[in-house]
Chains A and B, each alone.
Chain A
């Protein structure tokens, strides 16, 4: 059983690829990067690694304790069961899909995951913009079912690391579309650009980690259209302050819970981001519905149909 984290070995490649993408941006698309945004994103990555080191032992200890209650047993030499590895990877990716979907639909989980989305740029440094508060948000609970099924926690962590590494390269505008067969099965830059978009029709779509088939299966898939995408969050941060970027949604939850009438307090934790008891803010469903009302349902039903054409942020091109 390997006793190292694949991510440690991947970091130098991450740095090299960010550098290569910067050179691409310098030659072709300078607006793809903003130095202050890049610094914030990379600092997110560093802080996330430190947070993971502090909390990882607790998660592993809990997982090992839960492992004794497993349904199936791969034996004492579980790492020798070759087919368990790909099976674990696929099931972990399925678990990731549901984690990710909840991370967008439940404000408690969103408070942590929003960190990854709060950049208005979409480049490889955005991939490293990882949460510091994942442990506090209890994100690890989504991997418990795999442990209870019988996959050893070390195996789950190992395949999970490869899943994370896979997701690095899809955070780029430098790659258009991959071959059709690949786009059909795998998560790609095209699919993931949709996921990071704030264009109303793209909100809360394409939750996949490695395999896009989960979105196709569970009805959350959206093809990238022809219009330029704008990135970030519905209420853009408007600052590069690292600590505000890390904690702003947690602070928002605390303020809302404090101010809300007693019977609504919990709703500000478990309902979707943007939900309010007085309707004073919008959820992504509300924004999407309003947009569809203005532009019609047909705008969503085809691969090449345009997405919102009111999209001037990312470039100087005139809207269609």
Chain B
């Protein structure tokens, strides 16, 4: 019984702390600044990754990078930080059209990592790069 009381008090304390952090506006709204920044973020996903081609979302919320070996990395905003994934057989890409605006949706294939919507030039190239990687991986 004492433990239950302690547990509930602790639960209340952590909820209050998280609420305070939210009310204080802690965290930050971050963006991928430019291609160089995207390259550095990709290097953190795979040390030594050198992008040959970069597609940076116009809002800076995500980027796709492809190296000479054809590997594609998706980097996106995660909270107040960034996180990235090397896209593989489970990944996919789709082009969405909404009121004449075409967007590229890159799905990491991991349910919890999720997907990113990118406003980029020539999204078709990335669809074939990502979905093509899937085909070649299965071959």
Contact = CB atoms under 8 A, between A and B. Distances in A.
B63 to A, nearest CB: 12
Contacts of A310: 40, 43-44
Contact of A38 (B21, B37, B82): B21
Given A30-B25, A34-B26, A39-B18, A290 B41 contact: no
B27 A239 contact: no
Given A22-B20, A46-B10, A310-B44, A239 B81 contact: no
A53 B40 contact: no
Interface string B75-105: 0101111111100000000000000000000
Interface in A275-320: 282, 287, 290-291, 294, 310-314, 316, 319
B28 A31 contact: yes
Interface residues on B, range: 35 or more
Contacts, number: 128
B44 to A, nearest CB: 7
B101 to A, nearest CB: 26
A310 B46 CA distance: 12
B85 A121 contact: no
Contacts of A26: 24-26
Contacts of B82: 313
B74 to A, nearest CB: 10
A194 B100 CA distance: 49
A136 B108 CA distance: 31
Interface in B96-139: 108, 110, 112-114
Contact of A238 (B26, B27, B113): B113
Contacts of A200: 47
A35 B22 contact: yes
A42 B7 contact: no
A230 B78 CA distance: 14
A36 interface: yes
Contacts of A294: 48
A147 interface: no
Contact of B79 (A11, A36, A230, A319): A36
Contacts of B112: 237-239, 241, 244
A125 B17 contact: yes
The residue among B33, B47, B84 with the most chain A CB atoms within 10 A of its own CB is: B47
Contacts of B11: 46
B84 to A, nearest CB: 7
B80 A238 contact: no
B80 A38 contact: no
A35 B27 contact: yes
Interface of A: 8, 11, 15, 18-19, 22-23, 25-26, 30-39, 42-43, 45-46, 49-50, 53, 120-121, 125, 198, 200, 230, 232, 235-241, 244, 282, 287, 290-291, 294, 310-314, 316, 319
Given A35-B27, A310-B44, 14 more contacts: A19-B20, A22-B24, A23-B24, A26-B24, A31-B30, A38-B17, A39-B15, A46-B10, A198-B44, A239-B78, A240-B79, A244-B112, A287-B47, A316-B33
